Chains A and B, each alone.
Chain A
Amino acid sequence: MEPVAKDQVVHFSAAVSLLGRFPALAGIDLDVERGEVVLVQGPNGAGKTTLLRACAGLIPVVSGEATVLGCDLTQAADRTAVRRRVGLLGHASGLYDDLTVTDNVHFWARSCGATRAEADAALATLGLDGRLAGVVVAKLSAGQRRRTSIAALVARRSELWLLDEPHAGLDQTGRDVIDRLIRSAASAGATVIVASHEVDRAGAIADRTVTIAGGTVVTEPPGPAAPDVLASPRADMRTERRQNDEGVEPQQDVLHVS
């Protein structure tokens, strides 16, 4: 295995992760440095969520190289060790319906060693310290649940934020808040990987964009402008290589990435 650069938070090289027997990550290459905000985009089923879950140590990497925060994700012990250092905002809320907003955020914050004060600060940041604080989660709207999940994530003070469609279900104010939080986390030294279909919104806060399809990186442009990237010779070359390797139809990668 190549030595990982000191400020490199994520290093994937030809990494493969299986969901059952299906290679959801099929030899992915990705490097992310400390403090970077990286947008991961791609069509449904491209492997974005799997990539985030692998980075969180929830899915084993069965071959290739995969290191997150210095932990080797091919090793079970390291996968467990990395979990408490990352924060994952997934599709599911990760909240208990019968607990109040405050109870939920306090529980998840305290479970990773944060104090009640830090949890309260996170609640205030997300505007959940008023009327909503004592409401049970089952009675919240989808957007309010999302904000509660984000508050629980903020309270963790993770070194690596893994955000899967963070803007989904949020109103304009909520979207602005999450954008501010991402910028603020990155400026404080955290690393952020955002998987999103909202390329314009998420691309505006990302340092760069990575496009994945079929479990591999299709292209990795210097800026957030994904459409230009698809026309790049490198993208064509990678797409062509994947077609040769996997026998996929020529338009498959290009059509789905938007």
Chain B
Amino acid sequence: MFRDAALVAGKDLRIEWRSRVTTNQVAPFAVLVLILFAFALDPDRGVLQRATAGLFWIAILFSALLAVQRAFALEAADGNRDGLRLSGLRPAGIFLGKAGAVALELAALEVLLGIGVVVLYNTTWSGWLLLITTSMVATIGLAAAGTLYGVLAAGLRVRETLLPLLLLPVVAPVLLGATQAFEAALDQSASNGWSWVVLLSSFAVIYVAFGILAFGSLLEES
């Protein structure tokens, strides 16, 4: 299973590296979202600083939608989904590989946006352990849920518009938990943030487990 996951993740990341969609489209989009928030709230810079955590995770959430759509657009093209079904790859391995590739892309975006909020919102990061742990578990949860709903929508003609409708309500706990944990870290009251990390970890575990079990059936039906 892990060999299959590495193969699929390697393939997806190689495609992203060659096509530059993440670097040339998704990343600029995420930065643009931050800039637009800055324009909207600029008159009161205090609001921007107070809302940094929420704005950061909303930008990540929107970027995750693009990354997941991209990950399954690759498979929808030119019979590639049939290729995956005919391959000897285990569905759980395909799920972990695709989710892993999305997670790595999101992690890179988080670093970029982390620098972005320092520059644009004048934010000073603190509570690094909590920040990094929160980012890791929230990213895993987002990638796992995104991959699961991505394959669900992949076979539909209206997938581009349906995916946000399906995914955004489901990942609301990630937005809530990650924002709260980040705020706790920025307020230097890390002890308040770890309970949110537990919530995020539970979300990630549930969606990773569900994805491993259900991805095969969803790939068949898509």
Contacts and interface: CB of A to CB of B under 8 A. Distances in A.
Contact of A56 (B4, B77, B86, B216): B86
Contacts, number: 63
A113 interface: yes
Given A96-B74, A107-B7, A111-B87, A90 B14 contact: no
Given A83-B85, A111-B7, A94 B14 contact: no
A99 B79 CA distance: 15
Say what secondary structure dominates the interface of chain B.
helix
A99 B15 contact: yes
Given A111-B89, A113-B88, A136-B18, A97 B83 contact: no
A99 B11 contact: yes
29 contacts: A56-B86, A58-B82, A58-B86, A83-B85, A83-B87, A84-B86, A84-B87, A88-B86, A92-B80, A92-B82, A93-B78, A94-B78, A94-B80, A94-B83, A96-B15, A96-B80, A97-B77, A97-B78, A98-B15, A98-B19, A99-B11, A99-B15, A99-B18, A111-B7, A111-B87, A112-B87, A112-B88, A113-B88, A136-B18
A92 B86 contact: no
A34 interface: no
A94 B79 contact: yes
Chain A: number of interface residues, binned into ranges: 20 to 34
Interface string B9-31: 00100110011000000000000
Interface in B90-126: none
Interface of A: 56-58, 80, 83-84, 86-88, 90-99, 103, 107-108, 110-113, 136
Contacts of A87: 86
B83 A108 contact: yes
A90 B4 CA distance: 24
Given A57-B86, A88-B82, A99-B11, 13 more contacts: A58-B85, A87-B86, A90-B79, A90-B82, A91-B79, A92-B79, A94-B79, A97-B78, A98-B15, A111-B84, A111-B88, A111-B89, A112-B88
A171 B19 CA distance: 30
Contact of A83 (B15, B19, B86): B86
